[in-house]
Amino acid sequence: MNFSNESGNINFNIFFMGSEGILNMTKISFEDLIKKVNEYIIDFKELELISNAFSYASKLHEGQKRQSGEDYIVHPVTAAFIFAETKVKTEKLCAALLHDTIEDTNITKEKIEILISML
């Protein structure tokens, strides 16, 4: 799978904080998330749900930027990646990808529920 925005592949920086400050900085892409998820989820329909949630969240957050200047989708993908490290179920990964759409876009909770039921 190749996910990209207008400028090409979407890459993210993840910072792990500890008592001594930044412990590790890793560039991560949606492909990295899928690789991590593939370590424990092999069902195609579940992987498709995750991909669809990412695509939908990306469209809803399109044009939004974080204070750092990075695309807003950085935050939900980072959350999903951290969840994937703990091997959570598909529903939680989708929730991580979509969690800011209600408060930061014009989508309603009801529309998200309809979307999820259709995925």
Phi, psi of 7 (to 5 degrees): -90, 0
* Residue 32: active-site member: no
Q: What is the 3-state secondary structure (H, E, C) of 28-54?
A: EEHHHHHHHHCCCCCCHHHHHHHHHHH
Q: What is the pairing mode between strands 11-18 and 8-9?
A: unpaired
List 6, 20, 43, 103, catalytic entry? 103
In what helix (H) or strand (E) does residue 23 lie, and over which residues does it extend? Answer: strand 21-29
* Residue 43: active-site member: no
Query: What are the residue numbers of the active site?
Result: 103-104
